Amino acid sequence: MAEQSANDIFNRLEDVLAIAKQKGADFAEVALSESTGLSADVRMGEVEKVEEGKGHSMALRVFVDEKAFAMSLSMDGSRADIEKSIEDALTVARHSTANPNILPADPSLLARSFQDFDMVDKGAAPSIDDLVAQAMAVEEEGRKNSLVTNSDGASASWGRSRSFLVISNGFAGSLSRTGGGFSASFVAEKNGQMETGGYGTWAQHCEDMETPAEVGEKAAERTVAKLGAVKPATAAVPVVFHPDVSAGLMDHFIEATHGTMIMYKRSFLVDSMGQQIFPSDITITDDPLLSRGPGSRSYDTEGLATSKRNMVENGVLKHWFLDMEAARVLGLPPQGNAMGRSDMKPLAGASNLMVAPGVVTPEELMQDIKQGLFVTGVMSQGVNTLTGDYSRAANGFWIENGKIAYPVSQLAIVGNLKDMFMNVRVANDVADIDKRRSRIVVPTLRIDGMTVAGK
């Protein structure tokens, strides 16, 4: 079946809004998303699974007397089916709790111009045979490492998605993306010890991905590097975070500065607006207008125009991540931060978050550490956003006299995010290509005085 044109979809969604208004809705919004994708999984040189997937969804949210209700609509439903669904939604909405703060935005705030951001690869999409060959190449490269004794498999994927949003306050917008990647997981063995590990890459354009050979080699190297890991002694030492783990720390920052968390006073940063929460050389930027950025968009999920902002500037907290409800409750200007949705209700979040790099290399960042930890992976969910208490199981490498000495595991890193943020030091290892591969881009970080809980 041929793909529907954008105009046809917009007309269809406008019809749904018209029916909602006819049935008594004060406002309504309808969102449609569709996706297609291919993936291939291989293991030990054999194809394990190939998949072709298609996804479609349509959701409606109706507002009546400052009350709202959201529901899914059938993509293939008749007009009679849609009318019945809308009537049911309005009935439930009328029995809901009134909340004027959730109403759609004033039309003056809506996005009226839309940028491309180069988020769709214009080249030919890979076929399933292409993906099988790429996954095979990933695994083959990794298995060249003499210490890799087994494979948990390699995969390659590619897909395209489109989303549409129409609101009865006058907003209509759509967004298209492509994207895919490669990944692999291996088993390594030495002197009777076995370790598992892996690596993957993702980008919206094929040319921005690492090659299958690079992914396979890195996956094997990361697995082999874990061999010989020991449990370190408990100590208070400097901890250096690999960029992959640094990004997780920024996830905690995003959650702690989420408008809803501030509304309900559930964040350790609730009283920190305008205060110094990082060292003065730290700037954290959220940029939804970045070319080929994984989270780039001209409008948010409430139809508001987006803009680039320094969330932290010279260490000082400047903004919360706000959706319309949080902005209204907190008495602040809306910012166009609504990202995902829960039951069609917008939820604020970051688009493309970046911590400005420092001036020293990762090697220089750790050169004065006599004893310390270089964290390359964390597990468990031991983070309390209300208090800032932080405790995560971790693995990585022990640092001695400024150098990586040996692998360590079976440990935990313990601290408090408020103290951790104030003691952050940053390296300079951020490249432009990183901004095309990850929604959160953070250099290697160092935090002194954390507790490493081992034996």
Helices (H), 314-414: 324-330, 362-365
Q: Which of 107, 123, 144 is the last residue of a domain?
A: 107
pLDDT of residue 77: 78
> Which letter does DSSP use for residue 370 in this model?
S
Domain count, the chain: 2
- The answer on 431 and 289 residing in a single domain is yes
Q: How far apart are CA 217 and CA 11, in angstroms?
A: 49
* Among 84, 107, 130, residue at a domain's last position: 107
Q: What is the pLDDT of residue 1?
A: 46
Q: What is the pLDDT of residue 118?
A: 96
CA atoms of 393 and 242, how far apart (whole Å): 15
Crossing angle of the two packed helices 128-143 and 212-224, in degrees rounded to 10 = 40
What local confidence, expressed as pLDDT, does residue 306 receive?
96
Q: Read off the CATH number of the domain in which 70 is found.
A: 3.30.2290.10
Q: What's the pLDDT at 347?
A: 78
Please report the pLDDT score of residue 375 as a whole number: 97
Q: What pLDDT, on the 0 to 100 scale, is given for residue 452?
A: 96
Residue 113 lies in a domain: no
pLDDT in the model for residue 76: 78
Asked whether residue 124 is domain-assigned, the answer is no
Q: Which of 248, 212, 111 is CA-nearest to residue 169?
A: 111
d(CA 100, CA 421): 36
Residue 16: inside a domain: yes
Q: What is the pLDDT of residue 204?
A: 96
- How does DSSP classify residue 315? T
Residue 250 lies in a domain: yes
Is the domain of 90 the same as that of 238? no
Concatenated DSSP letters of 185-226: EEEEEETTEEEEEEEEEEESSGGGSPPHHHHHHHHHHHHHTT
Helices (H), 332-406: 362-365
Q: Is residue 169 part of a domain?
A: no
Segment 293-351, tens digit of pLDDT: 999 999 999 999 999 999 999 999 999 999 999 999 999 999 999 987 545 567 789 99
pLDDT at residue 382 in the model: 87
Per-residue pLDDT of the chain (455 residues; tens, 9 = 90+): 467 899 999 999 999 999 999 999 999 999 999 999 999 999 999 999 999 999 999 999 999 999 999 988 887 778 899 999 999 999 999 999 999 999 999 999 999 999 999 999 999 999 999 999 999 999 999 999 999 999 999 999 999 999 999 999 999 999 999 999 999 999 999 988 999 999 999 999 999 999 999 999 999 999 999 999 999 999 999 999 999 999 999 999 999 999 999 999 999 999 999 999 999 999 999 999 999 999 999 999 999 999 999 999 999 999 999 999 999 999 999 999 998 754 556 778 999 999 999 999 999 999 999 999 999 999 988 899 999 999 999 999 999 999 999 999 999 999 999 999 999 999 999 999 999 999 999 999 999 989 999 98
Q: What is the domain range of residue 33?
A: 6-37+49-107
Q: Domain for residue 405, yes or no? A: yes
* Same-domain check for residues 246 and 97: no
Query: How many C-alpha atoms does 442 have within 13 Å on its Cβ side?
Result: 23
pLDDT of residue 429: 96
Within its chain, how far is the Cα of 61 from the centroid? 25
Distance between CA atoms of residues 325 and 337, nearest Å: 11
Q: Which long-range contacts (CB under 8 A, 24 or more apart) does 192-196 make?
A: 193/227, 193/228, 193/229, 194/149, 195/223, 195/224, 195/226, 195/227, 195/229, 196/152, 196/223
Nearest Cα to 224, choosing from 244, 194, 245, 199?
194
Q: Is residue 206 part of a domain?
A: no
258 in the same domain as 390: yes
Residue 292 sits in the same domain as residue 422: yes
Say if residue 100 is in the same domain as residue 238. no
Q: Give yes or no: residues 100 and 233 share one domain.
A: no
Residue 215 lies in a domain: no
